[in-house]
Copies of this chain bind each other. A is one copy, B any other.
């Protein structure tokens, strides 16, 4: 992870990609979203989706997984170059999540992120808050996921109490 001071609004990154299989779509749905169109091809054929498709939560959770792997690669590269690695703090949450198109078995989703806002944290002076637009698109370029996330990111220049 880069430090807050090294991040710029407008920065984009390819997070990674994942191909969803029918088996994993069904396994996720059985555990967390047991609706017929996520569980069974025949039932899905009779649904509004017309065929088996992934739970939107599955599409979102895979974003999280790829973000962690992306950060690990980034951190390893920074360490290899002898650069310090910033700590990523908790996420205060996110907003405006959309699933504009279904994810079908065999679809490969490419996830990307763009920094859209940055501000110092008023309550935690050693941290900044980075807001990003996160997206997923299938192999035809159709959007399947979008949401805005915020996260605390460590500052390289630690803030000191102002002189009295």
Task: Give A41-69 interface residues, CB cut-off 8 Å to B.
Answer: 48, 55-57, 60-62, 64-65, 68-69
Copies of this chain present in the complex amount to 2
Q: Is the CB of B89 within 8 A of A48?
A: yes
- Asked whether A3 is an interface residue with its Cβ less than 8 Å from the other chain, the reply is no
Instruction: Report if A90 contacts B (CB, 8 A).
Output: yes
Determine whether the beta carbon of B97 is less than 8 Å from that of A95. yes
Interface-lining segment among A8-16, A26-34, A132-140: A26-34
Sample of 10 more A-B contacts, CB < 8 Å, known A33-B64, A56-B91, A93-B96: A32-B62, A33-B61, A33-B65, A34-B69, A57-B57, A57-B64, A90-B99, A93-B97, A93-B99, A95-B95
